Amino acid sequence: MSNVPATARPKLVAGNWKMHLRIATARALAEQAAAAAAEVAGPDVAVFPAFVHLATVREALRGSRVALGAQTSHEKQEGAHTGKVSPEMLADVGVTTVLCGHSERRQSGETDQMVRALARAALRAGLTPVICVGETLAEREADRTEEVLRRQVSVAVDGLSSDDLSRVELAYEPVWAIGTGRTATAAMATSAHRVVRDVLVSKFGEAGLGPRILYGGSVKPSNAAELMNSEGVDGVLVGGASLEGPSFRAILLGAVRS
């Protein structure tokens, strides 16, 4: 269905560090990610540390080609929102990309409409939103995967201009595969990515071919290359396996060899 070769979208290997690490270990991991990225020309690289580690990680990544990401944000620019962080604050601290609607946040109450607001807020602040979508196990077993993906993607990108869309990325992360050791097969990933791409192309025409669609969910060195090479997969969003320098490096090297 796509008339733009997949190579037009450089791969992205991204590490979502979730609520892990301490300053010293976050710094060391960032240094290892920077060193691994320097070894390989090829896929883009990004890490998503916890808010409190952003400044330290930014320093550790200085001069490297690893992008600094955040795991979420508030939708407003500023205001009386105790405990929240705005996309503008993230940009100010050196962040260039932010996850929107990770399933662990959807599980604690983020709706499709909220995810859309967060993506728009990220764009307003000049950040690249990575819009995360994916079905639960119950939804997959009820054969509702396609319906869920269509809804999540179309609400999230609704009202964006083609220019906005060119600054968006998406991640297909089946909820049942996150942190469970169960990974989607390459065929499952391809078919889900095809649905996501189809929504984008139906809404935006050719511009819908632009955004990268990552796969996430128990990606590790042993399966990353195969997943990343699956048709329609433009990279990986890695949780657990991004917390060890050597395994993140192995995933990155595998992306180049594959």
Q: In the complex, which residues of this chain contact ligand PGA (CB under 6 A)?
A: 16, 173, 178-179, 216-219, 237-241
Regarding beta strands 12-16 and 169-172, do their DSSP bridges make them parallel or antiparallel, or are they unpaired?
unpaired
The residues facing 66 across adjacent strands are 45
Rounded to whole angstroms, the Cα distance separating 69 from 67 reads 6
Nearest distance, CB of residue 236 and ligand PGA, angstroms: 8
Which C-beta is closer to ligand PGA: that of 145 or that of 247?
A: 247
User: Cα–Cα distances in Å, from 113 out to 99, 101, 156, 182, 211?
Assistant: 15, 10, 7, 29, 20
Rounded to whole angstroms, the Cα distance separating 94 from 147 reads 37
Nearest distance, CB of residue 20 and ligand PGA, angstroms: 10
Task: Return the residue nearest ligand PGA (CB atom).
Answer: 239
Nearest distance, CB of residue 3 and ligand PGA, angstroms: 30
Which C-beta is closer to ligand PGA: that of 46 or that of 178?
A: 178
Rounded to whole angstroms, the Cα distance separating 255 from 240 reads 18
DSSP class per residue in 67-122: EEEES---SSSSSS-TT---HHHHHHTT--EEEES-HHHHTTT--HHHHHHHHHHH
Rounded to whole angstroms, the Cα distance separating 207 from 143 reads 29
Which C-beta is closer to ligand PGA: that of 125 or that of 236?
A: 236
Rounded to whole angstroms, the Cα distance separating 258 from 251 reads 10
Residue bearing tokens 């657990």: 240
Give the active site residues: 102, 173
Which C-beta is closer to ligand PGA: that of 216 or that of 232?
A: 216
Which C-beta is closer to ligand PGA: that of 63 or that of 181?
A: 181
Nearest distance, CB of residue 155 and ligand PGA, angstroms: 20
The residues facing 47 across adjacent strands are 15, 68
Nearest distance, CB of residue 46 and ligand PGA, angstroms: 12
